[in-house]
Amino acid sequence: MIHTSFSVTTGELPGGDRPSEDRIFQTPGAVVVLDGVSTLSDDEPRGGWYAETLGGHLIAGLADDPGADLRHVLERAISAVVSRHGLIPGSSPAATVAMVRDRGEQVDALVLADSPVIVFTVDGSIDAVRDNRLAELVAGRPEYEEYRSRLRAGRGFTAPEHRALLQKLRDHQLRHLNVPGGYWVAEADPEAAHHALMCSWRTADITEILVMTDGVSAAVEDYGLFPTWNHLAHASRTDGPDKAVRAIHALETLEDPAGRRYPRYKVADDKALAHLRPAGHATGP
């Protein structure tokens, strides 16, 4: 763990045999979590490469201009990746983005696509910075309902029908990628940065922060393994994020390997979780 204005602990785990496409980056005063968008093929470059490359530019941008608007930092990072690697909108790998930055008396968060930031405050309230546009785009689609019904019926992840339904959903998503009325993600259009969600708090009001990919948030929102965000924060604080992500993975692979109880795209997703405590709250249970 490096020394920053946050006390930071992390947990990461790949969902399967391939290396994880999730990434966590740290720089003094900031944490960045990215989820490289998986594809249904083995085409290169993959989402993990994009997340790694974009993350490097984000960290450099945060270090060069610590007070910059986070949307501008993200826009410049996407532009750098696109120009250096010749990426084309609609046929590029992509990544979700979650950033948290401490500016001394203020903490800022940015979220683009489904990697949420959950902030816990001294008065006991919870602020969830969540981008639901992709979930809203696919919810209710016939393909979405059918693949979930097939899994509940025990037909499993390896059935050709499952892959075909996911491809139809993927095609639907691509038609609505980075366009008004669709959803936005870091890909090959820097304009996406201006559609990110932003929020700020007084540093003195924050007790802890969770930054994660959707492979972790599913444990609260879909599985109920951690019934509330408070339960996930408590587990991260007491046992550490690494143990939390391993518990999620065990539920997926050992307790529900066929997706009958919790229908989802694949047996297990990559997982990345960062637990942040501002320096003034870095001690205690």
Residue 64 predicted with pLDDT over 60: yes
Amino acid identity at 35: D
The predicted-structure confidence for 75-123, as pLDDT tens digits, reads as follows 999 999 999 999 999 889 999 999 999 999 999 999 999 999 999 999 9
The answer to whether residue 284 scores a pLDDT higher than 70 is: no
pLDDT tens string 195-207: 999 999 999 999 9
As for how many domains the chain has, the answer is 1
Residue 114 maps to a domain? yes
Instruction: Report pLDDT for 42.
Output: 55
pLDDT of 43 > 90? The answer is no
Please determine, for residue 1, whether its predicted confidence score (pLDDT) is greater than 60. no
The average confidence (pLDDT) of the chain is 93
pLDDT for 266: 95
Q: Whole domain around residue 62: which residue ranges?
A: 6-132+182-256+267-279
Output the pLDDT for position 285: 43
Whole-structure pTM value? 0.94
Residue 110's nearest CA partner among 131, 79, 94, 126 is: 131
Q: Residue 283 pLDDT > 50, yes or no?
A: no
Q: pLDDT by residue (tens digit) across 113-165?
A: 999 999 999 999 999 999 999 999 999 899 999 999 999 999 999 999 999 99
**pLDDT higher than 90, residue 271:** yes
Residues facing 101 on adjacent strands: 30, 108
Number of residues assigned to the chain = 285
pLDDT of 6? 86
Residue 44 has a pLDDT of: 64
Instruction: Tell me, yes or no, whether 33 lies in a domain.
Output: yes
Which CATH number belongs to the domain containing residue 29 in this structure? Answer: 3.60.40.10
Q: Which residues contact 239 (CB under 8 A, 6 or more apart)?
A: none
Write phi, then psi, for 157 (nearest 5 degrees).
-80, -20
**How many other C-beta atoms can be found within 10 angstroms of the C-beta atom of residue 278?**
18
230 in a domain, yes or no? yes
pLDDT score recorded for residue 2? 33
- Structural domain includes residue 213: yes
Domain membership flag for residue 217: yes
- 96 inside domain: yes
Q: Please indicate, yes or no, if residue 10 is contained in any of the structural domains.
A: yes
Report how far residue 181's alpha carbon sits from residue 73's, in angstroms, rounded to the nearest whole number. 24
157 in a domain, yes or no?
no
Q: For the residues 216-231, what does the mean pLDDT come to?
A: 98
pLDDT tens track for 47-61: 999 999 999 999 999
Name the E strands within the chain: 6-13, 22-27, 30-36, 95-102, 106-112, 117-121, 126-129, 197-202, 206-212, 271-278
Please give the average per-residue pLDDT across 258-279, as a whole number: 96
> Torsion angle, CA of 244/245/249/255, rounded to 10 degrees?
20
Q: Average pLDDT for residues 19-46, to the nearest whole number?
A: 85
